[in-house]
Amino acid sequence: MKETLFAKAKEVRLNAYAPYSNFKVGAAILSENNKIYTCCNVENGAYPSGTCAEQGAISTMIAGGCKKIKEILIIGDSKNLVSPCGACRQRISEFSTKDTIVHIANLDGIQTTSNFDELLPINFMLRT
């Protein structure tokens, strides 16, 4: 499944609206119903009014009627890891479980995989 998420995130990232940073990001989510939801970053001249790829993918998942992330993959235009920002980590936390898998990729492929609790061990809303 992670290869499919990688392909979907890489593809949607091409649609990113990033005229200010020229840094395109894509995200793909596998939800609890085994559907894939994707989005890309959308910048805005009035920083920080833009939308992160993860934020958009989560919104699309919610609009599709799902509330749990099984896996998420984030890809960016960098040789370095493009880890979710703090706000997106909290957004992911809202819809994740202890078993949610996070893949972080660059254009060459998946660079790291962990469960969400490893990415954000102490989040704002502690899950039971």
Q: Which residues are catalytic?
A: 54
Instruction: Give the pair of three-digit tokens for residue 1.
Output: 């499944």
The string of DSSP letters for 40-78 reads E-B--SSTT--B-HHHHHHHHHHHTT---EEEEEEEESS
